[in-house]
Amino acid sequence: MKHVISPLDLSMEELSDILSLAENILHDPKKYFGCCYGKKLATLFYEPSTRTRLSFEAAMLNLGGSVLGFSSADSSSAAKGESVSDTIRVVSSYADICAMRHPKEGAPYVASIHSSIPVINAGDGGHNHPTQTLTDLFTIKTLKGHLDHLTIGFCGDLKFGRTVHSLIGAMVRYPNSRFVLISPDELRIPTYLREEVLEANNIPYQETKALEEVMPELDILYMTRVQKERFFNEEDYIRLKDSFILDAAKMQYAREDMLILHPLPRVNEIASEVDDDPRAVYFKQAELGVYVRMALIMTLLGITVE
C-alpha cells in the first residue's frame, strides 16, 4: 500500500499519471462522479486548517464518497492523550483512506507505519505538505502547459516556507528549471536546500532582495506569506512583512504570460488591486487543488474509470 508523506514519495511516473488523471477529471468531472461511492475518507486534523480540510472533503464528495473526521485536537481523542499510532489503528477500521494534518513533524509518517489504509500527509508542522505541492505542479502544468524549462521566482519567507522548499524539491526533477529566490537576508532559503538540493544537482539559481529587478525574467512568481508565528519578536515581524509586497506597480515589469501563485491564505503580500490581473491565478490554484486531490484519492484507492 502506498502512503504520501513527502512530495518525493511519488516517482516521476506516478506524479505524471496523477497530473494526467487530474487533467481528465478537470475536463469531464461528471464522468468521475460516483466512482468512490461507498468509500470513506477520514480527515484527521489535529490543528485547524479549514482550507485544506474542505479541499479534501470536496474532492471526496465530488467522487461520490463520504467523509468523516475531526477538525482540531481538542475535539479528538488526542485531547485525552491517545497516541497517533493508536488513533490510526482504530480509524483504519472505519475508513478507506485518510488525510492527516498535525502540528508535529513526522506525525503522519508515524501514522503510516501503523495504518492499514493509505495515509496522505495534509501538512505536518513546517515539514511537508505534499498535496499543496501537487496543487502547485498541477496549476503550473494546466496554465503553462509544461513543467520543464521554467524560471520560477519565490518571494517572501523562504526560510520557513515549507511550500517553497517542497516545490523547489519537486521542480528540480524537471529539466532546465531555474530559480530566483527573492527574500530579506533573514528569510533566505535554508543551507541544506541550497547545498543538498540546488548545488548538488547543478541547478541555476539566484538570490536577490529586489523583486522589481528580476520580475521580467520570471515565468512563475510564487508569493508566500510572512508568518507572524515564525518570529520571536513583533519588531522583526513588522519590519520584514511589508518588504516584499506585490502590487500593480511591480506587475508592470512582469511578462504578459507570467503567473502569480500563492498557497493562500494571503495577508497583505499581494495587494488586492492585483487580483483582477489575469496573471493572478491563486484562486484558480485553490480550485485546481480539489481536482488533483481527487486524482490522488482515486490513485491511492486503486480506482479507475474507463
Partner 1 sequence: MLNIGGLNEGVVIDHIKAGGAMKIYEYLNLEKQDCSVAIIKNAKSSKMGKKDIIKIEGPITLDLDILGVLDPNLTLDIIKAGKIVEKRNPNLPVQVTGIIRCKNPRCITSVEQELSHRFRLASKEKGLYRCIYCEQAYKR
Q: Which residue numbers are catalytic?
A: 51-52, 80, 101, 129
At closest approach, how far in Å is the CB of 76 from partner 1? 14
| Alpha carbon 187 to chain centroid, angstroms | 19
**What are the distances in angstroms from CA 130 to CA 151, 167, 242, 274?**
21, 9, 28, 27
Q: Cα-flanking dihedrals φ and ψ of residue 271, to 5°?
A: -65, 145
At closest approach, how far in Å is the CB of 248 from partner 1? 38
Nearer to partner 1, 40 or 102 (CB): 102
At closest approach, how far in Å is the CB of 97 from partner 1? 21
Grid coordinates standing for 101?
494534518
3-state secondary structure at position 205: strand
Whether residue 165 contacts residue 220, with contact meaning beta carbons closer than 8 Å, is answered with no
Whether residue 219 contacts residue 191, with contact meaning beta carbons closer than 8 Å, is answered with no
**CA atoms 217, 139, 126, 112: torsion sign:** negative
At closest approach, how far in Å is the CB of 13 from partner 1? 24
Nearer to partner 1, 24 or 83 (CB): 83
The H or E element spanning position 214 is: helix 211-214
What residues form DSSP beta bridges with 280? 260
Whether residue 41 contacts residue 98, with contact meaning beta carbons closer than 8 Å, is answered with yes
What is the total count of residues that contact partner 1 (CB under 8 A)?
A: 16
Grid coordinates standing for 126?
513546517
Whether residue 217 contacts residue 242, with contact meaning beta carbons closer than 8 Å, is answered with no
Nearer to partner 1, 170 or 290 (CB): 170
At closest approach, how far in Å is the CB of 109 from partner 1? 6
Nearer to partner 1, 192 or 232 (CB): 192
Should residue 232 be labelled a site residue for partner 1 when binding is judged by CB under 8 A?
Answer: no
Residues in 69-108 at the binding interface with partner 1, rule: CB under 8 A: 83-85, 102-107
Nearer to partner 1, 85 or 252 (CB): 85
Residues in 111-130 at the binding interface with partner 1, rule: CB under 8 A: 124-127
Q: Which amino acid is at 215?
A: M
Among 38, 93, 185, 192, binds partner 1 (CB under 8 A): 192
Distance of alpha carbon 53 from alpha carbon 203, whole angstroms = 34
Report the interface residues with partner 1, using CB under 8 A.
Answer: 83-85, 102-107, 109-110, 124-127, 192
